[in-house]
Amino acid sequence: MRLDRSSKIHFLAGVCLPELKLDNLFIHVYVKVNFFENWKGKMNKRIVISGSCRTPVGRFAGRLKSVKAQELLRTCFKGSLEKAGIQIENIDSVVASTCVHSPNAMNVARVAILLAGLPDDAVDTYNKGEYLKEEVVEKSRARNITAFTPSFNCGSGVQAVISAVHEIVAGDSRVVLVGGTESMSNSPMLLERGSGSKMRDSLLEDSLVHGLRDPLTGELMGRIAENTVEKYGVSREEQDLFAVESHTRAYEAISSGKFETEIVPVKSIEKGMLGDIRESEIYEDEGPNPTLTVSKLATLKSYFKKDGTITPANSCTVNDGAASFLVMELERALELGVTLEAEILGYGKAAGDPSHMGEGPIWAIPKALKMAGLTEGQIDFFEINEAFAGVVLATKKHFQIPGDRLNIRGGAVALGHPVGTSGAKLLTTLIHILHDFKKDYGLVSLCVGNGQGIALVIKRFV
């Protein structure tokens, strides 16, 4: 006997769950199947973004070194709520990414949202290194909001957005506070626990160095990026020129105030040599260096491979920073009277040979464009993560992206790459670029360690 699709579902439901009323179960199962069939092509709900903001990006061991990842994220959460114009009680759930997990905030999304629901004096006490009393924490306005922390290496910030989209499409949430945070300056040192109580020496290992290696081959990400650079014929000169341009564009964006609308300042609290407390407010990115020239960069030796082309100067830096925004169902956003910024049109994730990790955007971008129903030629601005200048140039060559539409305010080579934050940070910057230029479509993409890529397409909301 040959059954059509609906008959198969009807038949299997009756066999597996005969005690239930078959007609009702058939309707329920049939609707669910068709829901997911539609989801494969285009999103069945209009999902929008509001309240996009980010902290300044700090250098490794720079001005943000004393600020915990959860405080960076809390600062952004407060900024997003204020920009969007809604109360914390309107949030259904939180999804915020990180890669360098802090032992005292393993689920940093939950820690940050609880802090965001506390009064400032309680937050100040916590940031001075003191634990809070139970009766203080239980009064957090965010105590009933669920939160989780995804980790997708360099693509974590975009994965957080995708996870929020899934929650909304599934009907689990209507308003999701989304973000990413990283304090690479506070990455822990590791000591192997060992076994038994044998007398022996133990060596501390840097968790950050481990995180920047391929877990299977042990190769540093820069060595793996050399494979992509060679495959796409990207020269050393092209990479150095791109790096200088990244610094120039970022410095000009800072000098002209282009980042001011997206940055929320961060309060840094440090203990002085004599135990005194020093407070300062940080409101500007630390990384860009306008004095760099191609001739200066040409003097540097390749770092990851003998006779290679990738150097520390045409690679990203490791950094501290956070970004956040609200992702919500359009209908709910209109009910709340939220100021809308962008609509999510599609996304794509892809995987391939880990030894060609740098091709991740080349694999993922077509999937995102397909879901969005667009071509690369329709995208007004691209934000492609500058993990390495050569990786971005390979993507640029593959899709023939004009230079005046790519990373127009600089990228990670100049501004830095706080890994778990970068996807959310790039999306924040892209939203502001689209509004500044009154253009419609933007795309964010990142290569992802261990052979993956991720991309997201948005449209300016008008």
Q: Decide if 100 contacts 126 (C-beta within 8 A).
A: no
Six-digit token string for 148: 């989780």
> Interhelix angle for 156-170 vs 422-437, to 10°?
80
Half-sphere exposure in the Cβ direction for 126 (13 Å, CA)? 24
Buried residues in 293-310 as b, exposed as e (16+ CB within 10 A)? eeeebeeeebebbeebbb
Q: Pick from 73, 157, 65, 69: which is nearest to 412 by CA?
A: 157
Q: Is 154 a catalytic residue?
A: yes
16 catalytic? Reply is no
Task: Indicate which residue of 10, 247, 417, 432 is catalytic.
Answer: 417
Is residue 447 part of the annotated active site? The answer reads yes
Catalytic residue among 53, 76, 316, 447: 447
Annotated catalytic residue: which of 99, 154, 247, 432?
154
Residues carrying an active site annotation: 154, 417, 447
